[in-house]
Structure 1
């Protein structure tokens, strides 16, 4: 093996083995484990097995056909584990205690039966993307369907990327990270005919290390959690109906009725308007929106202040802050700078 190939083998294989280590870490060692953590561990495990298979098959073509078959059949579980992680992480009460087995057991049974009746060393052509490659196309279909389902489950997190009033929570950040990473791996393996077979393994190594680096630095700055929502509400669950009701009604209170202009507005006032409990609204804002109540309403107050700064030529900057619900100039300036990265005076000057 030439030196360039040795370097390529090292980095691609290292990602796979590190993925195996992380799957064991998340599954057995990390504290505050929950069912979503286990599915993330399982997802990392099957991707790592698939990646390691690809690496050895590329650089050592004489690799055992049994190992190749294990790596290929592991792909059938990548999509289901990704879907189950995103579904449970975003909506913990959306799946029954054993309902997840419906997504996993049939596939495991299929993997076992396939290994017995159609061993890879005799039926390798069935795994190719060709006219008789039934398993290859089944794998592509299953992986793609579950990937789309996972993206759909994560839609609220992705929408927050473009929202002016909602900020990404810790959990939103990692869901997006994981889904995008899995999409890149899927893309790499399904465009192999235009690139190289080893690109999928390198894609996994790249996304794994980038994710860990970002996690490390952000954790030092903000104490981010990699796996699950804040422990503060782990024993309290909001139903899907409550989430939908709050998500539909809450924005209207601020955009249409502009309740945030009331400087004495409290969390309980908004909860009463929504006809939900105070702690339910607080949990929704923290877990789903990723903001405290004060930051949430200040975001709307700042947007109202921006509109007045652009159109009002009568009131002073301090007067505008007061009209928009801020009780003091200090709170107005601090909130404005936090949301816009500049003071109200700097913003007004930039309009000229």
Structure 2
């Protein structure tokens, strides 16, 4: 291997090596373990095994087929790990379910059995043409599932006036990275990197370091990967029905009296401080006891106020009403109104006009 090849191998292997180190740390050595951190660790280990397989296959094609089989095992676990990581991070899961464990067991068992029945060294065509394709389809399905989970975040990103949280942006970044790397492996346009195996490994290094930089530099990232102890604490301390009713009454009174919903920049933590509870407790109250997200809860007050304005002042423009009640754009006002009233502000106003005739 010449100097150029050695340099190429070094930078290509750097991401895979660090992925193994970070993944192992998240699984075994992280002090405050959480479910999202566990699945992220599995995701990094899975992809690192896949990348390592590709590198070895490119630089040392004569190595035993077991290395290929281990890499394909990693590929089979990447999709579920990505999906479970995003879902657990969004839901702040506090435990791994039996179904999730069974899913991992199925794929691990399937690859091991295939390795025993049809080893790669004897039947490479089966692995490349059948098993590889099955795993590619599986990964694509999980990518679609993960994208669907983040649909609300993507709507925020492309809706004027909406802002995604730091944790949501990190989840999107991880998802996009897991779309880019397999794409680079497949598309011949990246052959200028001395082949798809090398280009995939290089892009994985770039994606890994970019996301690692985001995780380290973003102050709120701790909420994403270190929620284990906090989530368990609040999960074990459920808000009683009596306490929830008292807090809800206090919350509604505060919002209405001070017209807090008219503030377009109102945040969950700002509201929680006003009623002397933590952001986690307020989120738990809204989600578990009221079945609403913070945005949906506040928008409910805004839409109710908008309806009053439409009824009492028929000369006021609908767009002005949206800004008056706390929305920072016409599009978000119309979207929220239709979601809460199953009709648009325009049709709602027209129906009122017809009713008064």
Alignment match of 1:139 (pick from 135, 147, 152) = 135
- Give the TM-score, by structure 1 length: 0.64
The runs of at least 4 consecutive aligned structure 1 residues that moved more than 4 Å come to 92-96, 222-226, 228-234, 281-284, 287-290, 323-326
Instruction: Return the alpha-carbon distance in structure 1 between the equivalents of residues 206 and 24 of structure 2.
Output: 20
Question: Do the aligned partners of 1:169 and 1:289 also contact (CA within 8 Å) in 2?
Answer: no
- Deviation, structure 1 residue 201: 1.0
Which string of whole-angstrom CA distances, capped at 9 and with x for unpartnered residues, describes residues 107-129 of structure 1? 1111111010010001111233x
Map 1:240-255 onto structure 2 (within 5 A): none
**Which residue of the partner structure matches residue 115 of structure 1?**
115
Structure 2 length-normalised TM: 0.64
Contact in 2 for aligned 1:83/1:147 (Cα 8 Å): yes
What is the aligned partner in structure 1 of residue 156 from structure 2? 160
Aligned equivalent of 1:17: 17
1:308 is matched with which residue? none
Gaps of 5+ in 1: 239-252, 272-276, 298-310, 313-319, 327-334, 336-352
Are positions 1:227 and 2:225 aligned together?
Answer: yes
In the alignment, which residue of structure 1 is the partner of 2:79? 79
- Which region of structure 1 is more displaced relative to structure 2, 192-201 or 28-37? 192-201
Task: Tell me whether 224-233 or 68-77 shows the greater mean CA deviation.
Answer: 224-233
Q: CA RMSD in A?
A: 4.2
> 1:230: how far off?
9.1
| Residue in 1 that maps onto 2:58 | 58
Change (3 A) 1:325 1:29: same
1:121 partner SS: coil
- Give the direction of change, closer, same or farther, for the CA distance of 1:186–1:206 in structure 2 (3 Å limit): same
Is there any run of 5+ residues in structure 2 with no aligned partner, and where?
239-254, 265-269, 276-280, 303-315, 329-357
1:177-192 equivalences in 2 (<5 Å): 177-192=173-188
Looking at secondary structure, tell me which structure has more helix per residue: 2
Shift of 1:325: 8.3
Query: What is the aligned residue count?
Result: 271
For 2:349, the equivalent position in structure 1 comes to: none
